[in-house]
Amino acid sequence: MAASGCRGVRSILWKNRSCGKNVCVPRSKMVPQLPVRQIYVSSSLWKKNLAAAGPQKFTQEFIDKQVEEFEVGKRHLANMMEEDPETFTQEDIDRSIAYLFPSGLFEKRARPFMKHPEEIFPKQTAIQWDAKGRPFHFLFYTGKQSYYSLLHDVYEKILAIERHQDKMRNKGLFTSDTKQILLTGSRWLLKEEIEENLVENISDQDYMRLIQLMEKLLSMPYCSLEKEFILKFRKQLEVQSSKYEIPALQYDPQGVAFSVADGRRKTAKASITLRDSGSGNITINGRNYLHYFPVLQNRVQLMFPLLFVGMMGRFDIEGSVEGSGHSAQAGALRLAISRALLSFVSEGEVEKMRQAGLLTADPRIRERKKP
């Protein structure tokens, strides 16, 4: 465009020069022409600064349209797979897509998927003020409205309890030994969990302040009035030992109880049958354990679970093991024996075994060779 303009100007200039030679052009018609300088600019001036724009924002209409398209697509998919469109769940969608578009890619997230737009598009914070521009929340101008409003509520409850205390004192019914809230077996929510609840980022000092206020609330005699509120901020710690799968106790035709369990260590795999009312015989791969494990250390590994529980001479152990070396096989057998013992032992003992490390599989494996 600039070049053509230049050419145009240059042609006018030339025309004027030529006119000046032959024909007298009236002065008023002559437009004073300034010499044109071509300016060269790079295309980066016209390119948008994509980094400065921030994360891409989607309008609500766009997301609504996507949701509509998803619902229609879901029905089409159900028809394609000859299933009922009404009862087509997300798992069915995943299964159908995996069937229709088989992919050999290792990365699961790179494979084709069809999910609800809510899960794909990032959640954007809704506009926080009304049509006139007035914010909805009264603490909007602090910047951290949810966090400060939480502190406000906690302080409100502290004041309410103090007023209650004063009332009881006036009536003469004040006692310090009121019902206390049980806090054992639970912990305060972590900073990340509170950030999730508030949908806001808070700093470490803010988190400490919140916990301090909650502790203050707990320190008051009549804190049981606000029990549900406090328990919302505490998370129950799950009992670790309940996670273990206890092998079922089986009975053979003679009525003798036995349990079967597996264990692994490095590349050794072991399988154990623990029979009750035995005399402490241990048979591995058809041979006596004295023959199979000449080294004392390995035999100690086998006996340790029984020694720990105090049932040394009670069981008959029959095991098969393969792979790896003698120490790893002993370790695998030990884990299998501990797991089999779980069905013969009480809850408290299970927890003790867990704390002794008998039920933890040793995660160490051989590290590869590096040059």
Q: For residue 240, give both structure tokens.
A: 């670790």
Tell me: does residue 62 bind another protein (CB under 8 A): no
CB of 11 vs another protein, minimal distance in Å? 47
Q: Is 353 left (phi over 0), alpha (psi -120 to 50) or beta?
A: alpha
CB of 165 vs another protein, minimal distance in Å? 17
Tell me: does residue 141 bind another protein (CB under 8 A): yes
Q: Are 366 and 328 in contact (CB under 8 A)?
A: no
| One of 29, 48, 123, 134 touching another protein (CB under 8 A) | 134
Nearer to another protein, 18 or 203 (CB): 203
- The helix (H) or strand (E) run that includes residue 301 is helix 296-309
Q: What is the total count of residues that contact another protein (CB under 8 A)? A: 20
Helices (H), 247-295: 289-292
Tell me: does residue 75 bind another protein (CB under 8 A): no
Q: How far is CA 349 from CA 34, 144, 157, 162, 342, in A?
A: 100, 49, 43, 46, 9
How many whole angstroms separate alpha carbon 275 and alpha carbon 272? 10
| One of 70, 88, 121, 140 touching another protein (CB under 8 A) | 140
| One of 132, 243, 368, 369 touching another protein (CB under 8 A) | 132
Nearer to another protein, 26 or 143 (CB): 143
Taking CB under 8 A as the criterion, which residues in 215-274 touch another protein?
Answer: none
∠ CA 19-25-27, nearest 5°, is: 130
CB of 150 vs another protein, minimal distance in Å? 12
| One of 11, 18, 128, 201 touching another protein (CB under 8 A) | 128
Tell me: does residue 48 bind another protein (CB under 8 A): no
Nearer to another protein, 56 or 176 (CB): 56
How many whole angstroms separate alpha carbon 339 and alpha carbon 318? 14
Tell me: does residue 127 bind another protein (CB under 8 A): yes
How many whole angstroms separate alpha carbon 120 and alpha carbon 117? 5
List % helix, strand, coil for the chain (3-state, nearest 5). 50, 10, 40
Tell me: does residue 135 bind another protein (CB under 8 A): yes
CB of 157 vs another protein, minimal distance in Å? 11
How many whole angstroms separate alpha carbon 329 and alpha carbon 269? 7
Residues near 174 by beta carbon (within 8 Å), at least 6 away in sequence: 165, 168, 221
Residues near 334 by beta carbon (within 8 Å), at least 6 away in sequence: 263, 301, 302, 304, 305, 358
CB of 47 vs another protein, minimal distance in Å? 22
What is the contact mask toward another protein in residues 76 to 115, using x (rule: CB under 8 A)?
----------------------------------------
CB of 144 vs another protein, minimal distance in Å? 8
Taking CB under 8 A as the criterion, which residues in 148-187 touch another protein?
Answer: 148, 152, 155-156, 159
Q: For residue 29, give both structure tokens.
A: 């018609």
Per CB under 8 A, the segment of 40-48, 134-142, 214-222, 285-293 that binds another protein is: 134-142
Which residues contact another protein by CB under 8 A?
125, 127-129, 132-135, 138-144, 148, 152, 155-156, 159
